[in-house]
Amino acid sequence: MRRRWKAAVAVAVAGLLTLTACGGGDDAGRRSQAVDHRKVEVFSWWTGPGEADGLKAMKEIFERRSGLRFFDAAVAGGSGDQARALLTTKLQAGTPPDTFQGHAGAELQGYVRAGQLEPVDFLYDELGLRDVLPRQLIDQISVDGRIYSVPVNIHRSNVMWFSPAVLRRAGVTEVPKTIDEFAAALEKVKKTGKIPLAIGSEWTMVHLLESVLLGSLGTDAYNALWTANSDWSGPAMTKALNDFKTIMSYAGDPSDDWQPAAKQVAEGYAGFTVMGDWAYGYFHNPPDGGLGKRSGTDFDWAPSPGTGGTFMWLSDSFTLPKGALNRDGAVAWLKVAASREGQDAFNPKKGSIPARRDADTSLYTGYLADALKDWSGDRLAGSIQHGVNVNDAWRVSINEAVGVFHASRDVAALQTALAEAAKAFGR
């Protein structure tokens, strides 16, 4: 299976290089001609059901408000790994898109340290954003006192999605709240012949790992992993990684991405999957943009085992790259992304809650109503895979270690690799 992933990565990289090679002439030509100030290139990885629908809703507001044309430069691939690879080549070549999506946190700070982004404090002053965005979120998108992006949402990473019908058939009468209860439920589902745990490509296993670490270590110890007092080599981490091994032993064959894994749950082929709350939009949206499933009947949710009372968060934001050809158009897009109208159009379809605190709460129902309440009251922990706690180099190293572990199931080797990555790339 690891060979399959390596082959897939090789194909993806080759494809990106082809895109870059083919696009190089386009970028050169684009820069040698007069800039089309009526078109704004928006770079993201929102191409799947739910996320693409949310982007379309915000695009329509942008074009109506600004009179400009939205050019969708989205690159497919959950979690944005392929998009960021292509973006890196564009930034290094000095041909940035007019604006691009980035996760708030350490991932975004990498672009700032490389001198690739303009600060956007002027927009916060003009639009009064400091009054409507949470302070901790502004801190995550600031470097040396300057603000470098506009957040459009808040996502929750630590969500366990499950099939009520599969659990009933397996005799699972209580939603598992601890890791031990989760393992017991997975075993019961396995005995029915259903897939106990649906997973996707390699990044979804890192997504699962962060929830297991949080659930096994507890919030304080998890948050300490990103400080000078981190302990990646101790016995608590060994136990957490053994918990991860146990849970992974119930995983089915990896799907190509998170959507096919989630679909296995929604259609009753699998018992559980652990995925961010963007899955809600995919489950819930009508069939032209989702699965059209009913919450509480076809699917249901709970905090991932051991993490109740803690909101593991991430945030998507948009930036103002240095050297953007249509800077004014990018600023116009950022204003829509920052607006209450834009966020209330985007987030219900995306399966996220708004970054703004003055949203129309009547639009956020079902899971999203729970998320709004939990975001304001739960303890907070940052995501690994989605850029809050680790920079790109650190995240890549963790992904590689988990990929090796999937083939070897060697906990000691995984712990050594994670400890070395923390030493090499941590704060």
Residue with tokens 């965005």: 133
pLDDT interval class at 84 (50, 70, 90)? confident
Helix (H, G, I), strand (E, B) or coil at 362: helix
Q: Where are the domains of the chain?
A: 39-154+314-377, 159-312+387-425
**Contact present, 195 and 271 (Cβ < 8 Å):** yes
- Identify the CA nearest to 311 among candidates 214, 211, 364, 379: 379
Please tell me the distance from the alpha carbon of residue 41 to that of residue 98, in angstroms, as a whole number.
Answer: 5
Q: What does the buried/exposed string (b/e) look like for 292-323 if buried means 16 or more CB atoms within 10 Å of the residue's CB?
A: ebeeeebbbbbbbbbbeebbbbbbbbbbbbee
- Identify the CA nearest to 318 among candidates 304, 341, 335: 335
Please tell me the distance from the alpha carbon of residue 427 to that of residue 424, in angstroms, as a whole number.
Answer: 9
Please tell me the distance from the alpha carbon of residue 183 to that of residue 153, in angstroms, as a whole number.
Answer: 32
Name the phi and psi angles at 228, rounded to 5.
-65, -15
Give the sign of the dihedral formed by CA 219, CA 225, CA 228, CA 232. positive
**Contact present, 75 and 82 (Cβ < 8 Å):** yes
Residue 298: which residues within 8 A CB-CB, separation 6 or more? 163, 164, 165, 266, 283, 291
Number of other residues whose CB lies within 10 A of the CB of residue 408:
11
Please tell me the distance from the alpha carbon of residue 265 to that of residue 183, in angstroms, as a whole number.
Answer: 17
Query: Pairing between strand 316-318 and 270-274?
Result: unpaired
Helix (H, G, I), strand (E, B) or coil at 273: strand
pLDDT in tens, 99-138: 999 999 998 888 999 999 999 999 999 999 999 999 889 9
According to CATH, the superfamily of the domain at 159-312+387-425 is Periplasmic binding protein-like II (3.40.190.10)
Please tell me the distance from the alpha carbon of residue 401 to that of residue 379, in angstroms, as a whole number.
Answer: 28
pLDDT at residue number 218: 97
pLDDT interval class at 79 (50, 70, 90)? low
Q: Classify burial at 196, counting beta carbons within 10 Å of its beta carbon; exposed 0-12, middle 13-18, buried 19 or more.
A: buried
- C-alpha torsion 80→82→84→85, nearest 10: 160
pLDDT in tens, 148-203: 999 999 999 999 999 999 999 999 999 999 999 999 999 999 999 999 999 999 99
For the whole model, what pTM was predicted? 0.86
Helix (H, G, I), strand (E, B) or coil at 359: coil
Please tell me the distance from the alpha carbon of residue 152 to that of residue 169, in angstroms, as a whole number.
Answer: 40
- Cα end-to-end distance, the chain, whole Å: 33
Q: What fold, for 39-154+314-377?
A: D-Maltodextrin-Binding Protein; domain 2 (3.40.190)
Q: Do domains 39-154+314-377 and 159-312+387-425 have the same CATH topology?
A: yes
pLDDT at residue number 364: 95
Please tell me the distance from the alpha carbon of residue 384 to that of residue 397, in angstroms, as a whole number.
Answer: 11
The torsion region of residue 285 among left (phi > 0), alpha (psi -120 to 50) and beta comes to beta
pLDDT interval class at 29 (50, 70, 90)? very low
pLDDT interval class at 285 (50, 70, 90)? confident
Please tell me the distance from the alpha carbon of residue 404 to that of residue 414, in angstroms, as a whole number.
Answer: 8
Number of other residues whose CB lies within 10 A of the CB of residue 65:
15
pLDDT at residue number 34: 57
DSSP state, residue 295: B
The structure tokens listed for 18 are 């082809």
pLDDT at residue number 17: 37
**Contact present, 149 and 112 (Cβ < 8 Å):** no
Query: Pairing between strand 159-162 and 270-274?
Result: antiparallel
Measured CA angle at 199 (ends 53, 299), to 5 deg: 60
- Identify the CA nearest to 171 among candidates 155, 161, 184, 153: 184
**Contact present, 136 and 315 (Cβ < 8 Å):** no
Amino acid letter for position 252: G
Helix (H, G, I), strand (E, B) or coil at 398: helix
pLDDT in tens, 248-279: 999 999 999 999 999 999 999 999 999 999 99
The structure tokens listed for 409 are 């199931």
DSSP state, residue 302: E
Strand partners of residue 155: 314
